[in-house]
Amino acid sequence: MKKQLPIVLFVVSILCAPFVTLSAQQVLPQFGYLSYSAVLLQMPEYTMASQQYEELRGKYEAEATRAEEEFQRKFAEFMQGQRDFPASIMQKRQAELQELMERSISFRQESQRLLAEAESALKQPAVDHLNAAIKAVGAEQGLMFILNIDGNACPFVHPQAGVDVTTAVLERLQGSPIALP
């Protein structure tokens, strides 16, 4: 029996060897990572949308500046003539100034709301295109997920588990149309 024990152990070790090597070869599930904002900023459609937004913002700013200059001009006229105005004209001019100031404030608030909506609408196609490219690269590379590492959200990525997909996503954006599985 003592002579058979080494032979039995040898046979068992040979039979178990494939399972041991398979488990040793298993790699951690892979995932991808990239800086979403860095890729987005490199996209031509995002740059174009940003330029369109800046043009629109400039138009709103010019109109707000014009309204403020009109208010300042009327206020200066009011201050110069207030000694000479009868009470009824003075009240009318004060009401006009109050109305101009309220309209200016209302315009500023409304323009901020409209600009936020416009920015979102202008940039959404670029965001959608980037999201589709990320999904396509993830599917092509068999990744479980892709992390956005912006804002130091992921300070460490194990080099055997994580794959930087930035280049692949950029190539996908510049190359063929996106086809999702």
pLDDT tens sequence across 99-154: 999 999 999 999 999 999 999 999 999 999 999 999 999 999 999 999 999 988 88
- At residue 103, the 3 state secondary structure works out as helix
Q: Which two tokens stand for residue 172?
A: 């996908």
Q: Is residue 82 helix, strand or coil?
A: coil
Q: Tell me the per-residue pLDDT of 55-68, one tens digit each, with 9 for 90 and over.
A: 999 999 999 999 99
More confidently predicted of 120 and 28: 120
Q: Give the separation between CA 176 and CA 181, rounded to whole angstroms.
A: 15
DSSP count for the chain of H helices, then E strands: 5, 3
168: Cα separation from own chain's centroid: 19
Dihedral of CA 45/49/50/52: which sign?
positive
Q: Which of 91-95, 123-127, 155-159, 176-180 has the lowest mean pLDDT?
A: 176-180
Residue 35 neighbours by CB under 8 Å, 6+ apart: 148, 149, 150, 166
Q: Which DSSP helix (H) or strand (E) runs through 167?
A: helix 166-174
The full set of domains in the chain, from first to last, is 26-174 (3.30.910.20)
Q: What percent of the chain has pLDDT over 90?
A: 59
Residue identified by tokens 């207030």 is 82
Total-model pTM: 0.71
CA–CA distance, 52 with 58 (Å, rounded to integer)? 10
